[in-house]
Chains A and B, each alone.
Chain A
Amino acid sequence: MTTVSRRGGDRVMVPEAEFRSYYGRPIVREPTWKHDIPAYLFTGGLAAGSALLAVGGDATGRPALRRAGRLAAVGALGASAYFLVNDLGRPQRFHHMLRVAKPTSPMSMGTWILTGFGTAAGVAAAGELAGYLPRRGVLGVASRVLPPAGRLGGIAAAGLAPALATYTAVLLADTALPSWHEAYPQLPFVFAGSALASGAGIGLIAAPTAQAGPARRMAMAGALLELAGAHRVETRLGLLSEPYRTGRAGRLLRTGRALTAAGVAGALLGRRSRVLSALSGAALLAASVATRFGIFAAGVASARDPKYTVVPQRARRDGATAPPLQPCADM
C-alpha cells in the first residue's frame, strides 16, 4: 500500500501538477454549514440592495421603489436572520454572538452590521405603515411620527447596506479554503455587484416602468461589477480558479452568469414592458441565488481535494524554482 500520488488538473489550463497527500484526504476542512449559509448570502445581499434602492427612491420621489425596497429589505433581513439562526449548532445560543465585537472576526462584525441594519430597516419599513393608520389617537401620533422616522431609518439602513453586502465576502475569504481565500480581492466586488443586481431586480418587479429607470441602471452597474469580478476569479487564480469553473460550482456560476445577462438584456430591451421588466427582475434574483450557491460550492470543492491546498503551498515553499502557475492563454 503505497502513498497515494495524484495528478492534478483535469481539463484545465494550468500545467499538470504532481503532488502527494495522505490517501487523497482533504487537509483543510470544508464548512459544516448547510444550504442556509449560501441562502443567507443571497438574502443578505438582497436586503442591502433593496435598502439602497429604497433610499434612492425616497430621495428622488419614486415611491414605488421606496416602498418595494423597504419591504424587501426588512423581509430579506428577516429571512437572513432565520437562515443564520437555523444553521447554528446550538440555535438557542444565537445571542452569544452579541458577547463580543471582534474586528478579526468578519462574522462578529457582520452580527453587529446585521443588528444595526435590521433595526434601521425595521424602522424604515414601519414608515410604510403610516398610510394604514388612523389619524387620531395614539396610532394617529404614530402615523405622523413614522414617516420621518422611516426616512431616517431608511438612510441609516442604506448607510449600512454596502457593509452588509460586502462583509460576507470577507467572511468567506477569511478562511483557509484555498479558492475563497485566494479570491479575497475579487469576492467583495462580486458580492457588491450581486447585491446591486438583486436590489435592482426588486425594483424591476415591483415598480411601474416609469419609475424603474434607476433600477435598470442599478442592474447594469451590478452586473458589470459582478461579471468583472467573477471573470477575474475564474481566470486569475491559477489552479485555484479551477473549482469555480468545474463541477457543480461551475454549472451554478455559468447559470448565474447567463441569468444575469438575460436579466440585464431584458431590463434594457423591455423598458416599456412591465411584464418583461418583471421577468428580468426575477432573472436577476435567480442569478444572484445561483451565483451565491456557486461561490459557496467552489469553496467547498477547493477544500475537498487536497491538491488545491498542497500544490500552491508547495510551490510557495519551493520558491522561485517552481514554474509559476499561469493560465495558458490570455483571456
Chain B
Amino acid sequence: MNADCVIIQGSNMAEAHPVGFQWVVEAKTRGARVIHIDPRFTRTSAIADTYVPMRAGGDVAFLGGVVNYILSNEKDFREYVLAYTNAATIVTDGFRDTEDLDGLFSGYDNETRIYDPTSWQYAGQEPEGDRQDQEMQRATASPQQHQSHGPGVPGATQRDETLQHPNCVFQILKRHFSRYTPEMVEQSTGVSREQFLDVCRAWTDNSGRERTTALVYSVGWTQHTVGVQYIRTGAIIQLLLGNMGRPGGGILALRGHASIQGSTDVPTLFNLLPGYLPMPHHEQHETLRDWIDAFRHPGQKGFWGNAEAYAVSLLKAYWGENATAENDYGYAYLPRLTGDHGTYQQVFNMIDGKVKGYFLLGQNPAVGSAHGKAQRLGMANLDWLVVRDLYMIESATFWKDGPEVETGEIVPERCRTEVFFMPAASHVEKEGTFTQTQRLLQWREKALDPPGECRSDLWFFYHLGLRIKQRLADSTLARDRAVQDLAWDYPTHGETVEPSAEAVLREINGYDVATGRPLSGFAELKADGSTACGCWIYSGVFADGVNQANRRTPGREQSWVAPEWGWAWPLNRRILYNRASADPQGRPWSERKAYVWWDPDKGEHGEWTGYDVPDFEKTKDPAYRPEPGTSGPAGLAGDDAFIMQGDGKGWLYVPSGLIDGPLPTHYEPAESVIRNPFYGQQDNPTRMVYDRPDNPMNPSPPDANSAVFPFVFTTSRLTEHHTAGGMSRTLAYLSELQPAMFIEVSPELAAERGLTHLGWAHVVTSRAVVEGQILVTDRLRPLRIEGRPVHQVWLPYHWGGNGLVTGDSTNDLFGVTLDPNVLIQESKVGTCDVRAGRRPVGPASLAYVADYRRRAGLAVGEGSES
C-alpha cells in the first residue's frame, strides 16, 4: 500500500488473492504505478498500468536484464548496497562463472549432475561439505531448510569497500549479467526493448531514499526447475535498489493456499521440523551434537547461535518428561532422513510397491499434483489409503471412476488399495489459527459443530495417536519407545472429545516446564530442558497468557502498521529486516519512508523504535562493532541488518546453500521449444530428474523431435475455483461461474490449428492427452523468440471427474522434474501439441499418446534429458 511502484511477476494476484489485491488497488489510487509481467493478460493485468507479455520460462532472462541495467547505468542505491549487502565481499580465487564455462559454474560433475561448491566460497573460508554432501542436500531439499536463516558462513569476511576488486561480489555480478542486454531480453523473452527499458526505468526511478518498489510473486515463479533462482534474481534487484526491509518495498511472496505458510512453519514437509529446523539425516547427524551444530554453525554470527535452545525445547514439547539430558532429550526418537522422501519420490515408490499405506489430508493429488497418471497408479498400488476431506475427491474415487479405469489401466475389482474415507470438518467447524502469506497468525473461532461424523484434523490425529499408543503400550521393541514416550496429554472438551486447539497453541508458543508459564519470545528458550516450545519462531503468540493471534483491534484505532491485529512471526515484526529501513547511523533513509529508527534518547542508552517491532536487538547501538571472532547475536554489528545471515548481510551472491549456483542463470525449462540463447547449457543441469519409463520428458532443442510438441503451455488458476476443485466444483454458486474446462489460445494459434471458439480441442504431451473447449482470446499472443513466433497455450487446472462440473485434469499433462533446491515440480511451463476435436476415449487415448511418444523419439518407456 505504501509502494510507489508495484511489480507483479510470476503471479496473478488479483485472480488468486483478490482480497489482498485491494491493497494494490489502494496503492494505485494513491498514485503508484502497477506493472504486470506475465505470459498471459489476466485479471491482474486488467488493473495494472502496464502489462508486459513475456514468454513462460523467461523470467531470469528478463530480470537478469534488469540487473544488468542497474549495474551498467549505476542505478543501485550505493550506500545501502555497501552497508547492507555482500557486494563488497571477496570470493575465492578458484570461482568460475557461467561466463567462463558457457552456462556452468566451477565444480560441476557431469556424472552425478551436481556441483562441489568449494570454489564458490568467500575468500578465506572453510569449505562446507563436499559433492556427496551436495547430493544428499539435493535429495533432501536442504536449501529449503536454510531458508530463514542462511547457511553456514563463518563470521569474518574479506571486503573491498571500493567495489573494484575483480573477485568482489559486485564485479562478479557485473560480469555474470553483462550478456543480459536489452537485445537479448527481447530475443529470448519476446519483450520488446522499449517495454523492457520502460520497466527498468519505472523500477529504478521508484527506488532509493525517497521511493520504494514492491515486488510480488507467487507460484508462477516457484513451480519451475529454476524457481529458486527466479526469486533470487528478484532479491538481487531489490537489494541493489535498496528496497528490502523498507515500507512499500520488499518482496511479497504470495503463497498458494490458505494457511500453507503455517504448513511450512509447523511443517507438513518431510525435511523440516517446526521453525525450519532440519530433519536429521541418519548418517550426517548421528548424535544430538552433530545435528545441532549442523544448523547452529558454531562460530558464525547471528541468531542461529541460540539454535540449541530452540531444538531442545522442541524435543521437550514432543516427549515431555521423557525427554531428559540423559537421553539427549529423546533425539534418538526423531525420524531420520535416508534420502529423497519428497512427495514425487513417494509416488514412484508407491508404483514400485515400496509403500504400504498413505494418509491423504486435505490434498487431491489425483488432480492437483503433476503427472496425474503416476499419482493415481501409485495410489492404486497401496495396501490402504486414508482420505480425509469434505467431499469425495478424485483421490478417493480414482479406483472406480478415474481416467485409468476408462483406459483399463486400473480395474476396480482388482485394485488392491483399500480406501478409507474419513469426513473432515471445514474451517468454520473448528477453531485454530491460519497463518497467511505475510506470516500473520489469525485465530479463528468455531462457528458451528461439524455435521455427523465429520471431525477436525486435530481430533483425528489426537485420537489416532491415542489408539496407536494403546496398541504399542506393551511393546518392548526399541523403535516403539518413540511413540510410547510421546507427550500426548492435551485437554479435551465436548461430546466429540475434541482436543483443545488453544492448548496446542500454548505449547507451540512455549512454556516454562516447571511452572507452565507461557513464554513471551524465543529469547527465553533454554537448552537445558527447562523450557518446551513447539515452534520457536511462533514463540510469543501466547505471550502473557493472551492469545495474541486472536487480537482484532480495528485499523482505525491503531497505527497504519496495525500491529494489534493478529500476530506475526517472529515477535510480531511485520516487515522482516526492517533495520534496513534506516541508514547505517540509524536514521531513516527519508522522512517519507521512515519505518524504524534509532532513538538515542530512549531507554538507558538509546533504543530502536518506530512504527513496527524493530527486527534488531532493541538496545544495539548502530555504532556497535564486535570484537573479531565473536559469534552468535553478539557477533552482529550495529549495521548488520540481515540478522539471520551468517555475515549479517543481504546476499547478492550465495556462497553456499544452493544446489544450482551462487547466481541466477537463464536456463530453458526442462521442456522448451528453443535452444538456450545465452549459453550452451540448455537447462538447469542440477535439476531433479526421475528417469523412469513412466516419466518421459518431451524432447527439447537441439533434438529435432522437439517439433512434435511445438507449443509452450502454462497453467494457473481462476478466481472462481480453488486448486483441485474439491471446494469449488462441489458448490453450485461457484460452479456456475466457471462451468467447464477450457483452453485459451490466441487467434493466430486458432487459425493455425483450425480451432474454433467454444469448439472442442485437446492438448497432448508425452504423458497424457486432455480435452477442453476453446476460448479464442487476444489476451494470449504469439511472441517472437529468436526470430520466430512461439505460441503459448493456457489451461486452468481445477477440473477433475467429480463434482457438479467435471472435466479433464490439466496436471496429467506434466511429468515430474523438480527444482533441485526445494524439490518443487515444474508445472508452470511445458511443451505440447494442440489439435481440434475431442480426444480419444479409453485405450485409444493411450495409443494416441504412445504415438506421440514414438514420433518424439521416445520409445515407450524412455526418459529424456539434455
Contacts and interface: CB of A to CB of B under 8 A. Distances in A.
A84 B195 CA distance: 65
B834 interface: no
Sorted nearest first, the 5 A-B pairs with minimum C-beta distance are A1-B777, A1-B776, A1-B778, A2-B778, A1-B757
Interface string A280-318: 000000000000000000000000000000000000000
B54 interface: no
B104 interface: no
B81 interface: no
Which secondary structure characterizes the binding site on chain B? loop
Interface string A15-48: 0000000000000000000000000000000000
A1 B781 CA distance: 12
B358 to A, nearest CB: 43
Interface residues of A, number: 2
Interface residues of B, number: 5
Interface string B58-93: 000000000000000000000000000000000000
A2 B746 CA distance: 12
A1 B757 CA distance: 9
A1 B779 CA distance: 8
Interface string A232-254: 00000000000000000000000
A214 B778 CA distance: 70
Interface in B753-797: 757, 775-778
Contacts of A1: 757, 775-778
Nearest to A1: B777
A164 B783 CA distance: 69
Interface of B: 757, 775-778
A104 to B, nearest CB: 37
6 contacts: A1-B757, A1-B775, A1-B776, A1-B777, A1-B778, A2-B778
A186 B391 CA distance: 62
B547 to A, nearest CB: 50
A54 to B, nearest CB: 56
Nearest to B779: A1
Contacts of B778: 1-2
A5 B757 CA distance: 17
Contacts of B777: 1
A2 B757 CA distance: 12
A86 to B, nearest CB: 32
A311 B494 CA distance: 67
Contacts of B757: 1
Interface string A99-130: 00000000000000000000000000000000
B857 to A, nearest CB: 37
Nearest to B744: A1
Nearest to B757: A1
A5 to B, nearest CB: 15
A28 to B, nearest CB: 24
B780 to A, nearest CB: 11
Contacts of A2: 778
A271 to B, nearest CB: 63
A70 B87 CA distance: 106
A2 B775 CA distance: 12
A3 to B, nearest CB: 11
A23 to B, nearest CB: 11
Nearest to A2: B778
Contacts of B775: 1
A1 B758 CA distance: 12
A1 B775 CA distance: 8
B759 to A, nearest CB: 14
Contacts of B776: 1
B744 to A, nearest CB: 10
A251 to B, nearest CB: 32
B746 to A, nearest CB: 11
A263 to B, nearest CB: 50
B103 to A, nearest CB: 40
B773 to A, nearest CB: 14
A301 to B, nearest CB: 26
A2 B747 CA distance: 11
A2 B778 CA distance: 8
A286 B757 CA distance: 46
A287 B776 CA distance: 49
